[in-house]
Amino acid sequence: MAERVERPVLDVSHLPTVAFGTRSLTWWGVMGMMAIEGTVFVLMIASYFYLHSRNSEWPPHRNPPDLLWGTVNLIVFLVSVIPNEWYRRRARKGDLRAVRIGLVLLSLFGIGNVVIRYFELWHLNTDWSIDAYGSAVWTLMGLHVLHLVTDLVDTIVLTVLFFTSLVEGKRFQDAEENAAYWYFVVAFWVPIYLVIYWAPRWLHA
Amino acid sequence: MITTTAIESTAELTDQERLQAARLESVWREPRGWGWFKAVHHTTIGKRYAVTAFVFFGLAGLLAGGMRLQLAFPEAHILSNDLYNQFFTMHGSTMMFLFAVPMMFEALSVYLVPLMVGTRNIAFPRLNAYSYYLYLFGGLMFYVAFLCNTGADRGWFSYVPLAGPDYGPGKRPDFWAQLITFTEVSGLAVAVEIVVTVFKLRAPGMSLNRIPIFVWGQVVTAFMVIFSLPGVVLSSTMLLLDRTCNTQFFNPAVGGDVLLFQHLFWWFGHPEVYIIFIPGTAVISTIVTTFSRRHVFGYLVLVLSLVATGFMAFGLWVHHMFATGIPQIAESYFTAASMMIAIPTGAQIFCWIATLATGKVVLKTPMWWAIGFFFVFIMGGMTGIFVASVPVDLQVHDTYFVVAHFHYVLIGGAVFPLFGAIAYWFPKVTGRMMSEKLGQATFWLFFIGFNITFFPMHLVGLRGMPRRVYTYPANMGWTTLNQIESLGYVLLFIAVCLLLVNVSRSLRHGAPAGSNPWKAGTLEWATMSPPPHYNFLHLPTVNGREALWDAAPNQPVVVGLDEDVRSFLMTRSLDAEPDTRDEFPRPTIWPFLAAVATSIAFIASIFTPWGITLGAIPVAITMIGWFWPDRQPAEHRRTREIWQSE
């Protein structure tokens, strides 16, 4: 039997319990989800171009999607980045008022994006069941809608939570990471917008 | 040398330590009775994964028995052609999606990784529970469908157009597609948990170059899961959409393409093979180290080989499609890439040989399985080099030669290491030793039975017997070889029964194991067997690659974590310096409810697209319930918060 020895200790009681970015566990979880979902987006975009390579005409026998609503949504997405970054930074300081305002603003932006998205869907000029082109456009769009709606629901729940007495450091971490996830939704709209709206125009020429 | 063990054996606890243990136990205890559905500790969930995956292994093995019986005689009609189609599809799908990945990756990593890195639970424990229930419900759905004569019957990869709306009537391929959805969500969840656990929850001092090889293997696997599973997410979703929503992805009449399915499927399917055997090689590295009584030879080479295999796995998928008429230049590239994968695997094998050659080898059951692994896996690798070459592949494609090849690789790469792992970690999980005598008998029966079953498949394949045929005429010259194979199956069957007998007897009558029966070096052996729900009484620090072998006599322990909540320590990703503290959530019913809601949505979507749209509402409600904080703990945390300084 080994003898008992006095052992030195590593005291960690002074370490912070509220930290942000790479120092927060949930931040890593969110990054993991982004890696997975980002790969899905990339593979779906690759599938779009694979199907294009199998077709002589793209889009087949019809007009590409109308530019207006998609472009409006792109602009709204890009503008939303400003309040998003503002409340993300304030969350790291524990600024309750700023985070409340930011979350309300972002909820409104999200609702705006969803409403515009509804009009976008009416102007895709194709149906998913006509041909593979239509299926690819709708699936790509559907994937982005899924992320947009999920993030919107998340944001609204978090907003409600921030107006209760349950606010603590962890919730500011949530707010910061919610903003990070919104960046993901915005960032992937740029290539998807280019693929859905511009690829048919450029590839046609 | 192993001071930690001595301090933690119950007999030697001081009064103060006993008090501390009682406190930790009351905080970390898993709920009983109906609380079964609330459990969140990684050892609980890990055990459930292991038992469930083993049950599916048994079911798939019985299906194999049905096929071997049918093929033992030419022109037999024991199984109808339709039932035979379901048998081999259920067998393959079960082995790949319900046994191999959930066992080699989910079960082993969920149970062992948090212990090996020296923390108290896995990252995101509620997600972990959710992932298990989804896996369980997916498997149940698949088998209920099978019992209702709706078993998947288009092969484990369910190619279109055979599985598409035109040639796959009924709901059989839809159940297959949703099985994929269930298992992929659970696999992806565990992958994120493992990456985060390994990057953030390691014991202080366990810098990247001290992470146990087993943990490296699981984290490489986790990354492969994250980047490969999206391929099958898309292909199975497209299949389901084509079948239920009239999309046209795979309909060549209107611009669709059936090869898109194969590309997406094998983007996942090839890394999948490595997802199954990288954990296996990681088990082998662990067993070889422990039973050679020395640090593993070429740690860096082993780690880099694992990482290199992980990367290369994504550049090989087209070698499953050589027979589809893709451009020759692509074939040449994929042949070269497929051969290149032999390099890191070879490097690993040489490291193991060097470790064994320079160590003092102890021949216990786990070590026998490692030796069996060498033989079988290298055999499979050799025929792998054959089929990586296009002309050979075209010749033997879809014959029993390929069946022999992948059973050598997969049983060699996963089942042999798994049975080794069972013998090795059973004492840790249950606190009791398994019988050596029965263990070695199991090994020899299985090893011999395996070769009798699968070696003749090479020959019968070279003689032209195709896969997936339910019978064959008597004059083909295949009968004797098939009968030998079926005989081998009987040995395999007895071997697995013997293993079960050994497990059930050892559970009751096995000799007490103590904390470290093999005198191994990794951290899971530093705590009691079975580990308490708080894992370690004293959270360890680490001084070398084999934490216990390299520990200083006065190796420091971590103090200063709150003991009235489930608190844990986070360390920095590279050098594992202590960084921040956080709190794990308590047991809760929400992940179970969320899994039920998700399962309803998935299963309903087989029958109507509304299943997903309407089904998303209860999913959202349960997820919000899961997320919504409890008042008391929140207030408690708020009073003790320390914010990071910017």
pLDDT at A2: 46
Residue of A nearest to B640 (CA): A17
Q: Is A18 helix (H, G, I), strand (E, B) or coil?
A: strand
pLDDT of residue B329: 86
The per-residue pLDDT for A1 is 40
In the predicted structure, residue B33 carries a pLDDT above the cut 70: yes
On whether the CB atoms of residues B131 and B190 are closer than 8 A, the answer is yes
pLDDT band at B330 (very low <50, low <70, confident <90, very high): confident
Q: Which of A22, A28, A174 to mutate to test the interface with B (most CBs of B within 10 A)?
A: A28
Query: Among partner residues B124, B233, B556, which is closest to A8 by beta-carbon distance?
Result: B556
The minimal CB distance from B558 to the residues A12, A36, A50 is found for A12
Please state the rounded mean pLDDT for residues B622-644.
94
- Residue B571's SS3 state is strand
Cβ–Cβ of B192/A50 closer than 8 Å?
Answer: no
Contact present, B175 and B604 (Cβ < 8 Å): no
Could you tell me the two tokens for A119? 């009009």
Whether residue B339 has pLDDT greater than 90: no
Among A5, A25, A143, which would you mutate to test the B interface (most chain B Cβ atoms within 10 Å of its Cβ)?
A25
- In this structure, of B64-68, B332-336, B493-497, the range with the lowest mean pLDDT score is B332-336
The four Cα atoms B212, B215, B217, B222 give a dihedral, to 10 degrees, of: -160
**Residue B221 CB contacts under 8 Å (≥ 6 apart), including other chains:** B104, B105, B109, B191, B194, B274, B275, B278, B279, B310
On chain A, the residues whose CB falls within 8 A of the CB of B264 are: 43, 47
Lowest-pLDDT choice from A85-94, B2-11, B501-510: B2-11
| Confidence band, pLDDT 50/70/90 cuts, at residue B8 | very low
Residue B111 has pLDDT above 80, yes or no: yes
Name the percent of chain A lying above pLDDT 90: 91
CA-nearest residue of chain B to A24? B580
| pLDDT above 50: residue A15 | yes
Average pLDDT, integer, range B465-483: 96
pLDDT tens for B572-588 read 999 999 999 999 999 99
The pLDDT of residue B377: 94
Residues of B with Cβ-Cβ distance to A33 under 8 angstroms: 192
Torsion sign (Cα): B73, B74, B77, B83 = positive
**Average pLDDT score over chain B:** 94
Domain spans of chain B, in order of start: 1-82+104-211+527-646
Considering only CB atoms, A131 lies closest to which of B7, B255, B637, namely B255
Task: Choose among B379, B416, B399: nearest CA to B492.
Answer: B416
**A54 contacts in chain B (CB < 8 Å):** 255-257
Find, among B210, B220, B194, B38, the residue nearest to B107 by Cα: B194
B23-to-B12, B17, B29, B153 alpha-carbon distances in Å: 18, 10, 10, 54
Cα B210 from Cα B77, distance rounded (Å): 58
For range A82-108, the mean pLDDT: 97
B270 — pLDDT class (breaks 50, 70, 90)? very high
What element of type H or E holds B212?
A: none
Chain B residues whose beta carbon lies within 8 Å of the beta carbon of residue A10: 204, 541, 556-560, 578
Q: What is the pLDDT of residue B12?
A: 73
Residue with more model confidence, B481 or B15:
B481
Q: How many CA atoms lie within 13 A of B53 on its CB side?
A: 26
Give the model's pLDDT for residue B11: 52
Q: pLDDT band at residue B87, thresholds of 50, 70 and 90? A: very high
Binned at pLDDT 50, 70 and 90, residue B326 comes out as confident
Residue to mutate among A89, A135, A161, with most B CBs inside 10 A, is A135
Tokens of B258: 């059936």
For B361, list phi and psi in degrees, rounded to 5: -75, 130
**A146 min Cα distance to partner chain B (Å):** 10
DSSP state of B536: -
B contacts of A50 (beta carbons < 8 Å): 257, 260, 263
Distance separating alpha carbons of residues B289 and B299, to the nearest angstrom:
11
Instruction: State how far residue A100 is from chain B, nearest Cα, in angstroms.
Output: 17
Helix and strand numbers, DSSP H then E, in chain A:
6, 1
Contact call for A7 and B556, based on CB within 8 A: yes
User: Could A12 and B569 be called an inter-chain contact, meaning their C-beta atoms sit closer than 8 Å?
Assistant: yes
Q: Do B199 and A16 lie within an 8 Å CB cutoff?
A: no
B446-471 residue pLDDT tens: 999 999 999 999 999 999 999 999 99
Mean pLDDT across the stretch B66-71? 97
A-B contacts at Cβ under 8 angstroms: 210
Q: Is the dihedral of CA B210, B215, B221, B227 positive or negative?
A: negative
Joined tokens for residue B348 = 């690993």
* pLDDT one-digit tens code per residue, A164-199: 999 999 999 999 999 999 999 999 999 999 999 999
User: Strand, coil or helix: what is B570?
Assistant: strand
Which among A11, A16, A132 has the least Cβ separation from residue B644?
A16
Choose, out of A26, A43, A150, the residue to mutate when testing the contact with B (most B CBs < 10 Å): A43
- The pLDDT value recorded for residue A5 is 62
pLDDT number for residue B1: 30
Contact A25 B241 (CB under 8 A): no
CB contact under 8 A, A129 and B245: yes
B4 pLDDT above the threshold of 60: no
pLDDT at residue A3 above 80? no
Share of chain B above pLDDT 90, in %: 91
Q: Which residue does chain B place closest to A26, by CA atoms?
A: B124
pLDDT of the residue at B618: 97
Q: Which of B449, B458, B506, B448 is nearest to B481 (CA)?
A: B458
Question: Which chain A residue has the Cα nearest residue B619?
Answer: A150
Per DSSP bridges, beta strands B578-583 and B567-571 are antiparallel
Range B120-140 average pLDDT: 98
Residue B504 has pLDDT above 70, yes or no: yes
| Among B5, B7, B131, B192, the residue to mutate for chain A (most A Cβ within 10 A) | B192
Residue A205: its pLDDT value, please?
56
Residue A17 and residue B582: Cβ atoms within 8 Å? yes
pLDDT, residue A6, reads 73
Average pLDDT over residues B505-512: 96
Side chain identity at B528, as an amino acid letter?
Answer: M
**pLDDT at residue B131 above 70?**
yes
Can you give the pLDDT at residue A60?
Answer: 87
- Chain A residue numbers with beta carbons less than 8 Å from the beta carbon of B255 are 51, 54-55, 60, 131-133
Give tens-digit pLDDT for B289-306.
Answer: 999 999 999 999 999 999
Hey, is the C-beta of A56 within 8 angstroms of any chain B C-beta? no
Give the pLDDT of residue A204: 74
Closest approach of A102 to chain B, Cα-based (Å): 20
Mean pLDDT of B124-136: 98
CB contact under 8 A, B556 and A9: yes
A contact residues 105-164, partner B, Cβ 8 Å cutoff: 128-136, 138-139, 153, 157, 161
Strands A9-11 and B557-559: parallel
Q: Give how far B581 is from chain A: nearest CA, Å.
A: 5
Looking at domain A65-204, does it have CATH number 3.40.50.2000?
A: no
Tell which phi-psi region holds residue B144, choosing left (phi > 0), alpha (psi between -120 and 50) or beta: alpha
Contacts by A168-172 with C-beta closer than 8 Å and gap 24+? A168/B629, A168/B634, A168/B635, A168/B637, A168/B638, A168/B641, A169/A17, A169/A18, A169/A94, A169/B637, A169/B638, A169/B641, A169/B643, A170/A18, A170/B629, A170/B634, A170/B637, A171/B629, A172/A18, A172/A20, A172/A91, A172/A92, A172/A94, A172/A99
Q: What is the ipTM of this complex?
A: 0.95
- Give the tokens for residue A193: 């917008």
Say if CB B602 and CB B178 are below 8 A apart: yes
- Which chain B residues contact residue A12 at CB under 8 A? 558-561, 569, 578, 581
What is the rounded CA–CA span in Å between residue B542 and residue B202? 9
Name which of B130, B139, B151, B127 is nearest B103 in CA terms.
Answer: B139
CB contact under 8 A, A16 and B642: yes
Q: Let me know if B320 is exposed, middle or buried by CB neighbors in 10 A (0-12, 13-18, 19+).
A: buried
Q: What percent of chain B has pLDDT over 70?
A: 98
Between residues 57 and 96 of chain A, which touch chain B (CB distance below 8 Å)?
Answer: 60, 92-94
